[in-house]
Each structure stands twice: as structure tokens, then as C-alpha cells.
């Protein structure tokens, strides 16, 4: 476009000549050019043709590397449809590289991706396996990677959205090495959509939390606790506020496969806003004891518990109350925990979350010190259970 203003190039305009050749999802393109241009259907089919053509050029032992910058599940479905399902490539690795300005206005305080996924492909997907067996294989491989790379002595990567992408790569590395996954419902795009939304994303979330839990010797079962844990460890704390997420976060971190934004809101894990959702966590107003207590006391379920109303909806709410008690009445914490076991079934998951947070949360996070108080060997409940 800039060259056109300077040099009399031999075509009319960039829009008229070049845009129809560009493959992208954008509704206005279809309104101008027709033929489904600008739709996901058009994008998928052209992307599949591109992969098939590249397959002809790639040597049998060669590598193909693609850069992809999308958080939309539809975009991932398109990618896997073209690369794996249609052209039978397999993913060897996925790495996240920052390619967008981290300070751009539309990404502040959100999970908006400022990364490009560098995806390494090889020829060719072969063999077949039952989908459930492949999922178990992927979960074991990815969770072991998490426990050694994120918590072990190697600790080669920090917890962030980068870590999610890396673990997703481990999951897809396993799932896409098979040409056919027996039991995967549907054909074509429907099969790939099923693979991504019902297996790849949930397994990635599960592998992350299982790996973290394994690393600190615990286990989390409740899906609400898993979602809250993953958001806390993957997104940095927001000074003077709570973590904000874009609309796709609930899909990426949905371990159970059936907890949508509405259910998370009903369970008071998140609060919806016009342009996204807010995690229902204590506000990060400071790191001293008094400010932390004040932040916890602002939460309605904590105030109710202080008044003797122990109607916790999730382990997350119980954790917040235990954090309050760890700071306020640390010497009575064990008796409080014992009493709560007769009132709620969430105690074990809440303590498991505390173990993870005490180990991996950012030092500036308001929940870090209270969780250390809950599980500390000298002052916490572990002195009674170790």
C-alpha cells in the first residue's frame, strides 16, 4: 500500500489485487469477494491444500515449521484439520515465542496471546490407537514433563502462558502421531473439533495441574479448583486488582470438558464483564498481613464463614477462608481444619491448592504467604500430619 503511493505498480490496489489471494478469516472479505472468502470453511480448505502441497516438497526425514498466532479454538481446529487430518503430518514440538508487544492496550491484564506458536511438523502420522489409550499416554507424558521441567531440579521454564503452550505441544505430539484415533467421533472437521475441545485442551489443563500436584506430593480432583489453580499460576498477579481473562480462557483451561463460563459464574469462580471475565480472588492490594486480611475479608464467602455460615460452593472458597484463619489464628488452624472436615467435603482439595500455591505462586501474589502459613512444616497443619 505504501509502495503504491510512491511507485506506479502494475496492479490496481492492494485490496483489489492481493487481498483475494490472502488466506484469512475476516467477514468483510466475503462481502466484497464472495465465494466463502473470509470464512473459517474457506480458511480451512485453503490451509489444507497448502499443507498437502508442502507435503510434496518435504523430504521424508525433513522438518516443516509453521508460525501460528491464535487462541481461538476454531483456529486450532483449522490448523489440525489441514496439517494432521487432511495431510497426515504429525506434530513434533510446539514452542511459544513472544512476537507481539506485551504492553499493547488490548492485552493489558488479560490472557490475550502475545506469542506465536512455533510448531514443528514431521511426516507422517502412522498407525492407530484407541482414543482413550492415546489420551492416557498423552496425559502421562505431559504431566511427567511438567513435574520435572516446572518443579524439578531442571526447572527450565517458568509458569506462564508459555508453559501452557509447551504442555499443549506435548499433548498434541502424542495425539497426532497416530493416523487414526479409534473412538474419536465424527469425520473431517467434526472429528478434529472433537479432538481439540474434548481431548487436547482438557488433557493439557489436567496435565498441568497433575504435574504441579505431583511435584509437591498432592492431588486435586475438583474441576473448579483446577481451573482456579491454573489461572492463578499461569497469569501474573494484577497489582491493586484481580486477574482478568479473555473469553477463550475458560475453554483452554477447562479440564472437565463441561464447565463453561456460565457454570463458573454460578459457582462464583469468575465474574463476567462486558469484555471478559474476572477471577474471583482476593484483590492484590499489598503483601503485608493487614492488607491481605482486608482483601480476604472483602470476599462474601469468607465473611459468611467468619460468622459461622460454612456454605462453601467450591474448594476455592474454603481455601480463601483457610488463608484468612492461617493469618488470623494460625495456632488454632489444625482444630479449625478438623472441625471443617465435618462441615464440608472440600478440605483435601483446598489444602492441595495451598500446597501448590505455596510453592509456585508469584511472590507478589496476595495468596502466597497465607498458603505458606497453611502448609508450613513449622507452623502449619503439616506439623500435625507429616
Residue 386 has pLDDT above 50, yes or no: no
How distant, in Å, are the alpha carbons of 139, 147, 194, 252 from that of 197? 15, 24, 6, 8
C-alpha cell read off for 338: 478438623
pLDDT in tens, 254-272: 655 557 778 888 999 999 8
pLDDT in tens, 317-342: 999 999 999 999 988 999 999 999 99
Which pLDDT belongs to residue 276?
79
Please give the Cα distance from 358 to 367 (Å, whole number). 8
Which pLDDT belongs to residue 111?
46
Facing residues of 180 across strands?
Answer: 128
> Of the ranges 85-89, 167-171, 317-321, which one carries the lowest mean pLDDT score?
167-171
Please give the Cα distance from 370 to 319 (Å, whole number). 10
Which pLDDT belongs to residue 154?
54
Please give the Cα distance from 124 to 52 (Å, whole number). 12
Percentages of the chain per state (helix, strand, coil), in multiples of 5: 55, 10, 35
Please give the Cα distance from 165 to 171 (Å, whole number). 10
Domain ranges of the chain: 27-215, 223-279, 289-385
Range list of β-strands (E), 172-324: 180-182, 244-245, 270-273, 276-279
Which pLDDT belongs to residue 9?
65
Which pLDDT belongs to residue 247?
67
pLDDT in tens, 14-47: 556 666 666 777 777 667 667 777 788 888 888 9
The model carries a pTM of: 0.78
Please state the separation of Cα 306 from the chain's center in Å.
Answer: 33
- For helices 347-360 and 315-328, give the axis angle rounded to 10 degrees: 70
C-beta separation of 353 from 320 below 8 A: no
- When the pLDDT of each residue in the chain is averaged and rounded to a whole number, the result is 83
Examine residue 124 and say whether the peptide bond preceding it is cis (omega within 30 degrees of 0): yes
- φ and ψ of 343, to 5 deg: -115, -20
Residue 73 burial (C-beta neighbours within 10 Å; 0-12, 13-18, 19+): middle
Give DSSP secondary structure letters for 185-226.
-SSTHHHHHHHIIIIIHHHHHHHHHHHHHHHTT-----HHHH
238 pLDDT band, cuts 50/70/90, is confident
Span 216-231, mean pLDDT? 89
Output 315 or 115, whichever has higher pLDDT: 315
Give DSSP secondary structure letters for 55-87.
HHHS-TT-EEEEEE----HHHHHHHHIIIIIIT
Amino acid at each position: 500500500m505504501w509502495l503504491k503511493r510512491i511507485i506506479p505498480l502494475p496492479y490496481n490496489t492492494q485490496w483489489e489485487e492481493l487481498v483475494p489471494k490472502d488466506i484469512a478469516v475476516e467477514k468483510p472479505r466475503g462481502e466484497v469477494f464472495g465465494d466463502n472468502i473470509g470464512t473459517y470453511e474457506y480458511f480451512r480448505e485453503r490451509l489444507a491444500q497448502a499443507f498437502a502441497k508442502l507435503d510434496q516438497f518435504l523430504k521424508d526425514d525433513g522438518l516443516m515449521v509453521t508460525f501460528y498466532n491464535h487462541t481461538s479454538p476454531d483456529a486450532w481446529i483449522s490448523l489440525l484439520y489441514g496439517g494432521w487430518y487432511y495431510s497426515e503430518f504429525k506434530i513434533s514440538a510446539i514452542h511459544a515465542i513472544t512476537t507481539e508487544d506485551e504492553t499493547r492496550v488490548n492485552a493489558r491484564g488479560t490472557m490475550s496471546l502475545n506469542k506465536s506458536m512455533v510448531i514443528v511438523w514431521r511426516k507422517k502420522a502412522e498407525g492407530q490407537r484407541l482414543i482413550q489409550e492415546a489420551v492416557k499416554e498423552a496425559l502421562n507424558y505431559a504431566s511427567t514433563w511438567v513435574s520435572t521441567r516446572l518443579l524439578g531440579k531442571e526447572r527450565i521454564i517458568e509458569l506462564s502462558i508459555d508453559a501452557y503452550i509447551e504442555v499443549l505441544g506435548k499433548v498434541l505430539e502424542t495425539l497426532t502421531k497416530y493416523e487414526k484415533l479409534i473412538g474419536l467421533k465424527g469425520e473431517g472437521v467434526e472429528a478434529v473439533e472433537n479432538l481439540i475441545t474434548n481431548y487436547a485442551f482438557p488433557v493439557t489443563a489436567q496435565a498441568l495441574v497433575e504435574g504441579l500436584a505431583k511435584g509437591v506430593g498432592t492431588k486435586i480432583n475438583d474441576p473448579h479448583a483446577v481451573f482456579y489453580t491454573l489461572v492463578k499460576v499461569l497469569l501474573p498477579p494484577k497489582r491493586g486488582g484481580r486477574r482478568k481473562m479473555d473469553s477463550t480462557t475458560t475453554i483452554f483451561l477447562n479440564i472437565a470438558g463441561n464447565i463453561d463460563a456460565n457454570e463458573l459464574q454460578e459457582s462464583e469462580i469468575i465474574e463476567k464483564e462486558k469484555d471478559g471475565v474476572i477471577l474471583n480472588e482476593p484483590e492484590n492490594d499489598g503483601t503485608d498481613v493487614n492488607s491481605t486480611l482486608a482483601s480476604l475479608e472483602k470476599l462474601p464467602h469468607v465473611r459468611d464463614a467468619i460468622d459461622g455460615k460454612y456454605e462453601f460452593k467450591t474448594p476455592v472458597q474454603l481455601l480463601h477462608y483457610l488463608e484468612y484463619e492461617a493469618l488470623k489464628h494460625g495456632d488454632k488452624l489444625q482444630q479449625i481444619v478438623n472441625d471443617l472436615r465435618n462441615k464440608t467435603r472440600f478440605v483435601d482439595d483446598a489444602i492441595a491448592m495451598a500446597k501448590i500455591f505455596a510453592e509456585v505462586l508469584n511472590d507478589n501474589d496476595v495468596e502466597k504467604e497465607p498458603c505458606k502459613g497453611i502448609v508450613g512444616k513449622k507452623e502449619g497443619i503439616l506439623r500435625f500430619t507429616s
